[in-house]
Chains A and B, each alone.
Chain A
Amino acid sequence: QKEVEQDPGPLSVPEGAIVSLNCTYSNSAFQYFMWYRQYSRKGPELLMYTYSSGNKEDGRFTAQVDKSSKYISLFIRDSQPSDSATYLCAMSVPQGGSEKLVFGKGTKLTVNP
């Protein structure tokens, strides 16, 4: 079993739709849970960062973590064409005083006008 599982999609939705992206994981040692957004020909950029189980909201984005089920989600409300990108979940374990990231394979999202 892979440490982090993420459905690669692709996912295509109309503008204004609510988008749900999900990852499951197997390693109980993961401490921090992140969502990165990656546009074509660019590096991943941090979107959301959570530590504990529960919800964290930032504008149109909500990150949800359920440690008991080893499941994390990202919800995008009122999706926009500018949200079209690949979304990567990432989880961290301690490494040399910082954190090593273990990534899901990414879900490619297209929001159609």
Chain B
Amino acid sequence: EAQVTQNPRYLITVTGKKLTVTCSQNMNHEYMSWYRQDPGLGLRQIYYSMNVEVTDKGDVPEGYKVSRKEKRNFPLILESPSPNQTSLYFCASSGQGGNQPQHFGDGTRLSIL
């Protein structure tokens, strides 16, 4: 079954404690992206990756890092989380080229105290 898998699904942690949210896809997609979803603001892109070792900033990259060492994995790293990063996070992937729909994971709900 084609899917995007995120872990953990839920996490409560404290300010400043480094955390990583993993994302893995089994569709051999080149393009992967991270979004955060906040009430009243909708989904906003954090970072994206066009392929292995190729990443770039989205609209709200501050406070986040990513890496793309393997095609299937695209982890989101919060080096020093702060309460304003409390949000619902989604990873998505798609093939290259236009007309390639994005597939989303089921989300990771982060609470930073």
Point out the residues of chain A lying under 8 angstroms from B97, CB to CB.
97-98
Give the complex CA separation of A95 and B48 in angstroms: 9
Q: Does A94 sit at the interface, judged by CB under 8 A? A: yes
Residues of the A chain whose Cβ atoms lie less than 8 Å from the Cβ of B54: 96
Q: How many residues of A contact B (CB 8 A)?
A: 27
B96 touches A106 (CB 8 A): no
Most A C-beta atoms less than 10 A away, residue of B41, B56, B90, B102: B102
Question: B40's closest neighbor in chain A, by CB?
Answer: A105
Contact (A105, B42) CB under 8 Å given A32-B98, A97-B50, A98-B100:
yes
Query: Considering the complex, which residues of chain B in the window 54-113 have a beta carbon less than 8 Å from any beta carbon of chain A?
Result: 54, 56, 58, 90, 92, 94-107
Instruction: Return chain B residues, CB-CB under 8 Å to A98.
Output: 30-31, 50, 94-98, 100
In the complex, which residues of chain A have a beta carbon less than 8 angstroms from the beta carbon of B21? none
In chain A, residues 60-109, which have Cβ atoms closer than 8 Å to a Cβ of chain B?
88, 92, 94-101, 103-106
Which of A42, A49, A105, A106: most chain B CB closer than 10 A? A105
Given A43-B107, A96-B31, A101-B45, decide whether A49 and B101 contact each other with a Cβ distance below 8 A. yes
A-B pairs with lowest CB-CB distance, top 5 = A43-B104, A96-B50, A98-B31, A105-B42, A103-B43
Q: What are 22 A-B residue pairs whose CB atoms fall within 8 Å in the complex?
A: A34-B101, A36-B104, A41-B106, A43-B90, A43-B92, A43-B104, A46-B101, A46-B102, A51-B99, A94-B98, A96-B54, A98-B50, A98-B95, A98-B96, A98-B98, A99-B98, A100-B48, A101-B45, A101-B92, A101-B102, A105-B40, A106-B42
